[in-house]
A and B are shown apart, each in its own frame.
Chain A
């Protein structure tokens, strides 16, 4: 009964939003020229490029395959740097935001975490781009701020939800809180935390790719370049590369998860 009301409420809000925006589904139908372009774009999906589409490319460009590899590599490196730093920053924050610490520590810490998460990485990227220019550290920082916040929030929930019997038992054997945390609580939550960090790495890969739109040399940069030159076949090559990257990571992480959790 209550769920029914909630559902109707959501539908009403949706309808109100639709009217407020003055949406017309007709706007989604492309004009004649648009149709041609759309067809060309979709057609290109079946024939991704294996070399540059332009007849001539600048002398200093790498061969296409190397370019692909470099874009992929830099995307992975950006994401890995950001996730690594996020764990280093996020784990201590998670501990300080968990129920293990007194309220006067927990509340400011949770507020800080909420603040970090409330601004999207792309907005941080815009801000940092303006502040420090096109600089790798800026890109990594832009990803790290919201990612560390998200990791801290989820990690602290995982720490709070992990079974506490062993923690209490080790405390009762005369250890300090910190020792018992390290020996009996953190290990208990660690498999879930590792699995979640892996999932966030996947998200960071996508974010890192999109950061290319701001000029960082990740997949997004080349995607944008190809798109602007209407080289749709190259666009698809980059898209497929990204899909492959995420699939490989997914396979790897699920194999690891099996080893951790099972």
Chain B
């Protein structure tokens, strides 16, 4: 089992032990509909993976399973050998597992009428008790402000520390969401359709940023994407998902036209 180095935040930006995901024979039903069917995947440390596929393929559900938001009907999702499913009923153990996975949500899921600082700080609540968390929100210590500033600076929005989130552009808000996920000091980073609402140039810049921060921290990075071309260009490994099944799982260089045809081609009946 990996042990996290007990280094304080500014120093540990570049030093976080990474995790390994094992998704084994996972099936998931939501509302009586099969969403994922016997999916088996392995994500190693220091790997960047894109999951592509048409909408409704189960990309988001897979990521939610890997973050402990959903639990499979059968099969297991394991983070370094510890299964999420077994923890479903155990509050604190589940929280501890969830804290290890950073998640950048498609709609950012920020509090628009709070400052950037407060939004980012809320990513670190898993390390704090109730009163400490309250203090972080209402009267953050100077050291905490500096930690968050360093992190934001690293993401190119240091000057936004005290701005309200709803005054920021979409791209800036996304960086705040990323900062919150990183402030969690996760051991893996997941992003759900991070570029669905930005233009192509910005999309590229954002994905490169995700790559950079994941590489610096040696975090496995798993991103769901609509745009297979972008996935092929920027990620080492691409997984094609369709109707809840893995259609292909290949190094990006081997993903060719036929693969994508098989993934996106509508069946004759539709």
A contact residues vs B (CB 8 Å cutoff): 165-166, 168-176, 178-180, 182-184, 187-188, 190-191, 260
Query: Which of these binds chain A: B129-137, B210-218, B229-237, B251-259?
Result: B129-137
* B130 contacts A165, C-beta separation under 8 Å: no
What is the 8 Å Cβ interface bit string for chain B, positions 102-119, against chain A (1 contact, 0 not)?
110101011111100011
Q: Please, which residues of chain B bring their CB within 8 A of the CB of A184? A: 111, 122
How many Å lie between the Cα of A173 and that of B181 in the bound state?
Answer: 8
* B109 contacts A173, C-beta separation under 8 Å: no
Interface residues of B toward A: which range? Answer: 20 to 34
What is the 8 Å Cβ interface bit string for chain B, positions 36-48, against chain A (1 contact, 0 not)?
0000000000000
**Assuming A183-B125, A260-B113, what are 10 further A-B pairs, CB within 8 angstroms?**
A168-B109, A172-B68, A172-B98, A173-B122, A174-B97, A174-B100, A174-B125, A179-B125, A183-B137, A184-B111
* B128 contacts A179, C-beta separation under 8 Å: yes
* A183 contacts B109, C-beta separation under 8 Å: no
How many Å lie between the Cα of A176 and that of B94 in the bound state?
Answer: 10
State whether the Cβ of B123 lies closer than 8 Å to any Cβ in chain A: yes
What is the 8 Å Cβ interface bit string for chain B, positions 133-147, against chain A (1 contact, 0 not)?
110010000000000
Q: Please, which residues of chain A bring their CB within 8 A of the CB of B68? A: 172
State whether the Cβ of B180 lies closer than 8 Å to any Cβ in chain A: yes
Among B107, B126, B134, B180, the residue within 8 A (CB) of A174 is B126
8 contacts between A and B (CB under 8 A): A169-B105, A172-B68, A174-B125, A175-B133, A179-B125, A180-B122, A183-B125, A183-B133
Q: Please, which residues of chain B bring their CB within 8 A of the CB of A178? A: 130
State whether the Cβ of B30 lies closer than 8 Å to any Cβ in chain A: no
* B113 contacts A166, C-beta separation under 8 Å: no
How many Å lie between the Cα of A187 and that of B68 in the bound state?
Answer: 25
Q: Please, which residues of chain A bring their CB within 8 A of the CB of B188? A: none
CB contact under 8 A between A166 and B110, given known A174-B125, A183-B118: yes
CB contact under 8 A between A170 and B98, given known A176-B130, A187-B111: no
* B125 contacts A165, C-beta separation under 8 Å: no
What is the 8 Å Cβ interface bit string for chain B, positions 85-103, against chain A (1 contact, 0 not)?
0000000000111111011
Q: Please, which residues of chain A bring their CB within 8 A of the CB of B102? A: 173
Q: Please, which residues of chain B bring their CB within 8 A of the CB of A174? A: 95-100, 125-126, 184
Q: Which residue of A lies closest to B119 (CB)?
A: A166
A79 to chain B: closest CB distance in Å? 27
A142 to chain B: closest CB distance in Å? 33
* B105 contacts A165, C-beta separation under 8 Å: yes
A183 to chain B: closest CB distance in Å? 4
* B130 contacts A173, C-beta separation under 8 Å: no
* A187 contacts B114, C-beta separation under 8 Å: yes
How many Å lie between the Cα of A171 and that of B103 in the bound state?
Answer: 11
A2 to chain B: closest CB distance in Å? 32
* B111 contacts A173, C-beta separation under 8 Å: no
* B113 contacts A191, C-beta separation under 8 Å: yes
How many Å lie between the Cα of A207 and that of B171 in the bound state?
Answer: 49
How many Å lie between the Cα of A212 and that of B184 in the bound state?
Answer: 56
State whether the Cβ of B27 lies closer than 8 Å to any Cβ in chain A: no
Q: Which residue of B lies closest to A262 (CB)?
A: B166
B222 to chain A: closest CB distance in Å? 15
Q: Please, which residues of chain B bring their CB within 8 A of the CB of A182? A: 130, 133-134, 137
Q: Please, which residues of chain B bring their CB within 8 A of the CB of A183? A: 111, 118, 121-122, 125, 133, 137
Q: Which residue of A lies closest to B100 (CB)?
A: A174
* A173 contacts B125, C-beta separation under 8 Å: yes
B84 to chain A: closest CB distance in Å? 12
* A175 contacts B95, C-beta separation under 8 Å: yes
Q: Please, which residues of chain A bring their CB within 8 A of the CB of B97? A: 174
Among A165, A172, A175, A187, the residue within 8 A (CB) of B107 is A165
CB contact under 8 A between A179 and B110, given known A174-B98, A174-B126, A184-B122: no
State whether the Cβ of B198 lies closer than 8 Å to any Cβ in chain A: no
9 smallest CB-CB distances across A and B, nearest first, come from A174-B99, A174-B126, A175-B125, A169-B109, A165-B109, A183-B122, A174-B98, A179-B125, A174-B95
A19 to chain B: closest CB distance in Å? 53
* A166 contacts B111, C-beta separation under 8 Å: yes
How many Å lie between the Cα of A176 and that of B91 in the bound state?
Answer: 9
Among B103, B107, B112, B134, the residue within 8 A (CB) of A173 is B103
How many Å lie between the Cα of A169 and that of B180 in the bound state?
Answer: 10
* A166 contacts B109, C-beta separation under 8 Å: yes
How many Å lie between the Cα of A190 and that of B133 in the bound state?
Answer: 18
* A172 contacts B69, C-beta separation under 8 Å: yes
State whether the Cβ of B18 lies closer than 8 Å to any Cβ in chain A: no
How many Å lie between the Cα of A238 and that of B49 in the bound state?
Answer: 74
